[in-house]
Amino acid sequence: MVGLRLVVLQFPLQAISLHRVALLLFISRWFFVVLATTADFSRDVCNAITLLVLPSLLGSVSSVFADTALESTGMLDSVIVTAQRAVPTSLPSEIPTTMASITREEVERTINATDSEDAIKYFPSLLVRKRYIGDYNHAVLSSRASGTGNSARSAVYADGILLSNYLGNGATYAPRWMLVTPEEIERVDVMYGPFSAAYSGNSVGAIVDFVTRMPNKLEAHAKASYVVQPFELYSTDETYKAHQESASLGDRFGDFSFWLNFNHLNSHGQPLTFPTKNVGNTALTGGETPVTGAVAGLNRNNVPWYIIGTTTEYTTIQDHAKLKLAYDITPTLRVSYLLGYWQNDSENRPHSYLKDANGDTVYSGNVNIDGYRYSLSATDFNLSNEELTHVMHGLSLKSNTLGTWDYEVAASLYDFAKDKLRAPTVALPEASTGGNGTITDQNGTGWNTLAIKGVWRPSGIDGKHIFDFGMQQDSYKLHILKSNIVGNWIADGAGDTNTDVGGKTRTRAVYVQDAWSFAAQWKTVLGVRVEDWQAYDGYTVNGSRLDYASRRTTYVSPKLAVAFQAGDTALKASLGRAVRLPTVNELYGATSGGGLTVINDPNLKPEKSWTGEVTLEQQLSNTSLRVTGFYEVVKDSLYSERVVVGNTTISRVTNVRKIATPGVELSIESNDLLLKGLTATGSVTWADSKIKANDGYVNVPSDTIGKFQPRVPQWRATALLDYRVTEHFNVAYGARYSGKQFSTLDNSDVNGFAYQGSSRYLTTDLRARYRFARQWTAALGVDNLNNYRYWNFHPYPQRSYTAELRWDL
């Protein structure tokens, strides 16, 4: 189950044919040159493939990432990596901390998974802020000491290809979960904390790696699912529906294998935002339209307001396609290519609660609510159309000899091939058919990565030293062009520039890590990571153009872990430094609103974290127990707040001087303890994350000192029961809990159960799955069974019913 597998990966080598490797590298280099002509893939990366890889093959570098399966024999036993082709892994050969895993079979049995992020729903201390099925731009991952506003403080991969979006930080820079579908998943591995030198400072919270399928023989799969959500909130009483269809095909012919996956989603989600008006006392002046329907309530600060309608209600149609090709050059050397395609067409349409005396809906103008005057602006009931096409490429060469040397060379590209958002600047009802507007175009935005990683075992797989090392380059380009449309915002092309933001960052890193078995029952992992970071070509156009000077700095992040194991007991301690570098949007982004100018700061400092943890793991018959105490100190954490620049107070992303988070995490897994066929897993996390020092503020100076870090609750818990009634029928019941939390740095949002608030919650889920024929399986499920109404700025889904039918060859 999701629980507590202590993973220590071990890789056994063999001489390889260098002329075959050189030929493949030559081909791969020109493959990326071709991509460069169509996707702005920087030519220095193409050259780096040649300049960095060839020396590594001649004897210096190489990395280990075997095509393997994790086979757990118990929480405290080593997890041995075997040469099963079906389950490749992208983890380092030696992991200096505990980790959690879930397999494909467990996901299928226990989770109503409509999106890939659902697979980590019950992992200890993790939360994905998924608002609706197909949520592509706000499903942010949070971890022990990082909230859902800190997307850049976790790392998400699929088969070693980066899915995290480090172009910015925050809700709109969520990982690209949609490039993996639930049907592709073979296993999900999670490592907590920045304790491996193989990963950047973005791993400070957690590292999630989706391991997807690769067949050993012919296999085909098809699935159809349907979800219904009755939703009641304020004056909304509607039923929202989604349906999803997917198909997969894979086979192996000698040394060649392939995998094809297609997925179609049509989802209508619940409203996510609500136009509001604070209760006022502006006298009527005549000409106001008397209206009814405004819903009285309290905002997150307990200030009276009216909710006057709904917005951000998406109808989204998404299509996903994935092609994976693999060729075994030798029994221990594989070259792989991946092509991922995702497109999304969505419409956001608002609804007003306000009615005039004739019962007609009111969207604009001056209105009379309870005897006072309120003005409705064109943006109160916003609507939009979005057209997105994103493409992902991956190419890798991996050896798995399990001898003295192994290596991996991998490159990836994520391209915003089409990314256009259209919105009107006129009010409804005119906006429903046309009128002036804007179009926001992110064409040219994306990132690319290159990694050359190696493992050296001087005395073989059972020797005292195993060295992991490598070189990496990650490059990001952001371009957000917002243009005015005069005429018809739905169909017309871009006109004059409204705003234009762009810039680039690049990080080059080298690392080395030694797993040293210095005595019987003892092992230590010592590592260091050196990162050279550049920010360049930054500019902002907001009326006038402003260009920014380039920056370049170097950071060193040491890592240390010690483990002791005696029989069924293991004790481990880990310590690591992480440097989370500013993103392009944090450096150069610029907008305005709320009476304050929100401008960029190209001189932002990076977040610098020290994280330590001590873990005790114990195997008790058929029960595994883990207790982890952790402590994290972050200096210069990046948040948006008010600061004084010269004689002016402005609001922008700035550095919070110090945040400290002590905590304890308890996790347990039990098999057949109370009832044969029953597996139970659970976790409880306590974290006391508070701001210790800060120069900025929200309303008045010093109002954030001693306050809780936003969206990091003190308490959270998970529980999951999986009962295998028969060989073909099982029932699963899950529960998740989160305590009180805040969204603001000064914790002034005391009312979490309101629009824009962050509330506590306790939700339960149910799933029943029955295999009624050799190739046919059906499942019924209910998410949020207890229909808990909870918030994380937006309302989460209410009780949702799922029906699923699956066919497997």
Neighbours of 260 (CB within 10 A): 15
Q: What is the pLDDT of residue 591?
A: 54
| pLDDT band, very low/low/confident/very high, at 319 (cuts 50, 70, 90) | very high
Segment (H or E) for 616: strand 607-620
Query: Rounded to whole angstroms, what are the CA distances from 723 to 138, 641, 668, 755, 757?
Result: 33, 49, 17, 38, 36
Q: What is the pLDDT of residue 652?
A: 86
Instruction: Tell me the per-residue pLDDT of 436-493, one tens digit each, with 9 for 90 and over.
Output: 999 999 998 999 999 999 999 998 888 899 999 999 999 999 999 999 999 999 999 9
In a domain, 722, yes or no: yes
What pLDDT is recorded for position 80?
27
- Pair 412, 161: CB distance under 8 Å: yes
Taking the C-alpha atoms of residue 253 and residue 216, their distance in angstroms, rounded to an integer, is 9
The whole-angstrom separation of Cα 73 and Cα 79 is 7
State the Rg of the chain over Cα.
27
**Closest CA relative to residue 628, chosen from 680, 685, 584:** 685
pLDDT score for 90? 58
Q: Where is average pLDDT lowest: 644-648, 747-751, 803-807?
A: 644-648
What single-letter DSSP state applies at residue 488?
Answer: B
* Residues with Cβ within 8 Å of residue 777, at least 6 apart in sequence: 769, 770, 771, 805, 806, 807, 808
Query: Nearest-CA neighbor of 791 among 129, 124, 128?
Result: 129
In DSSP notation, 17-47 reads -HHHHHHHHHHHHHHHHHHHHHH---HHHHH
644/651 Cα distance (integer angstroms): 9
In the predicted model, what is the mean pLDDT of residues 707-718? 96
| Segment 277-316, tens digit of pLDDT | 999 999 999 889 999 999 999 999 999 999 999 999 999 9
Question: How does 137-151 read in b/e, with b if 16+ C-beta sit within 10 Å?
Answer: bbbbbbbbbbbbbbb
In this predicted structure, what is the pLDDT of residue 461?
Answer: 81
Average pLDDT for residues 28-40, to the nearest whole number? 36
pLDDT digits (tens, 9 = 90+) for 147-181: 999 999 999 999 889 999 999 998 889 999 999 99
Instruction: Determine the pLDDT at residue 219.
Output: 94
Q: Report the CATH number that the domain containing residue 739 is assigned in CATH.
A: 2.40.170.20
pLDDT > 70 in the chain, percent: 87
Strand, coil or helix: 210: strand
Establish if 10 belongs to a structural domain: no
434: left (phi over 0), alpha (psi -120 to 50) or beta: left
Give the pLDDT score at 157. Answer: 94
Each residue's pLDDT tens digit, 255-270: 999 999 999 999 999 9
Q: What is d(CA 362, CA 379) in angstroms, rounded to the nearest whole number?
A: 14
pTM exceeds 0.85 for this model: yes
What pLDDT is stored for residue 26 in this prediction?
38
User: Looking at the domain assignment, is residue 587 inside a domain?
Assistant: yes
Instruction: Evaluate if residue 70 carries a pLDDT over 60.
Output: no
Q: Of 382, 384, 315, whose CA–CA distance to 344 is shortest?
A: 315
**199-255 tens-digit pLDDT:** 999 999 999 999 998 899 999 999 999 999 999 999 999 999 999 999 999 999 999
Using alpha carbons, select from 37, 26, 52, 22 the residue that is nearest to residue 449: 52
- The yes-or-no verdict on residue 640 having pLDDT over 60 is yes
What one-letter code names the amino acid at 426?
V
Does residue 5 form part of some domain? no
Q: Which residue has the tokens 């006022």?
A: 280
Q: Distance (Å, rounded) from C-alpha 99 to C-alpha 316?
A: 35
In this predicted structure, the answer to whether residue 648 has a pLDDT above a threshold of 90 is no
For residue 764, count CB atoms less than 10 angstroms from its CB and return exposed for 0-12, middle for 13-18, buried for 19 or more: middle
Distance of CA 495 to the CA centre of its chain: 34
Which helix (H) or strand (E) element contains residue 48? Answer: helix 43-57
Task: Give the other-Cβ count within 10 Å of 291's Cβ.
Answer: 23
CB 126 within 8 A of CB 687: no
* HEC readout, 221-267: EEEEEEEEEEEEECCEEEEEEEEEEEEEEEEEECCEEEEEEEEEEEE
Domain annotation covers residue 7: no
CA distance 277 to 184: 46
Query: Is 540 in contact with 600 (CB distance < 8 Å)?
Result: yes
3-state secondary structure of 110: helix
pLDDT of residue 91: 60
Task: Tell me the C-alpha distance between 36 and 30, whole Å.
Answer: 9
736: nearest Cα among 104, 120, 105: 120
- What is the per-residue pLDDT for 64? 27
Residue range of the domain that includes 412: 18-808
Q: How far apart are the first and last CA of the chain?
A: 25
E strand intervals along 15-136 = 70-71, 80-81, 99-103, 127-128
Return the amino acid letter for 667.
S
Copy the structure tokens of residue 633: 């100190």
Mean pLDDT of 414-437: 94
- Sign of the Cα torsion 224, 225, 226, 231 reads negative
CA atoms within 13 A on the CB side of 580: 32
Q: Is the pLDDT of residue 76 over 50?
A: no
Helical packing angle, 43-57 and 18-39, nearest 10°:
170
What is d(CA 487, CA 400) in angstroms, rounded to the nearest whole number? 60
Name the nearest CA neighbour of 196 among 52, 346, 423, 7: 7
Strand partners, 719: 682, 735
Q: Which of 754, 703, 761 is nearest to 735 (CA)?
A: 761
For 97-114, what is the mean pLDDT?
Answer: 92
Beta bridge partners of 317: 266, 345
Q: Are 265 and 242 in contact (CB under 8 A)?
A: yes
Tens of pLDDT, residue by residue over 563-590, are 999 999 999 999 999 999 999 999 998 6
96 has a pLDDT exceeding 90: no
How many distinct structural domains can be found in the chain?
1
Is 1 within a domain? no
- pLDDT of 92 reads 66
In this prediction, what percent of the chain has a pLDDT beyond 90?
Answer: 78
Which residue has 């229909």 as its token pair? 787
Who's near 643: CB < 8 A, 6+ residues apart?
649, 650, 651, 652, 654, 695, 696
Q: Residue 584 falls within a domain, yes or no?
A: yes
SS3 172: helix
Distance of alpha carbon 503 from alpha carbon 284, whole angstroms: 49
pLDDT grade for 11, boundaries at 50, 70 and 90: very low
Q: Which of 654, 709, 657, 718 is nearest to 687 (CA)?
A: 709
User: Which element (helix H / strand E) includes 584?
Assistant: helix 584-588
Tokens of 297: 């309530």
Single-letter residue type at 388: L
Q: Which two tokens stand for residue 217?
A: 């023989």
Residues 6+ apart with CB under 8 A from 36: 42, 43, 46
546 Cβ contact partners less than 8 Å away, ≥ 6 residues apart: 539, 540
Rounded CA separation 24/47 (Å): 15
Do 43 and 34 touch, CB atoms closer than 8 A?
no
Top-confidence residue, 64 or 558: 558
Average pLDDT of the chain is 87
Would you say residue 286 lies in a domain? yes
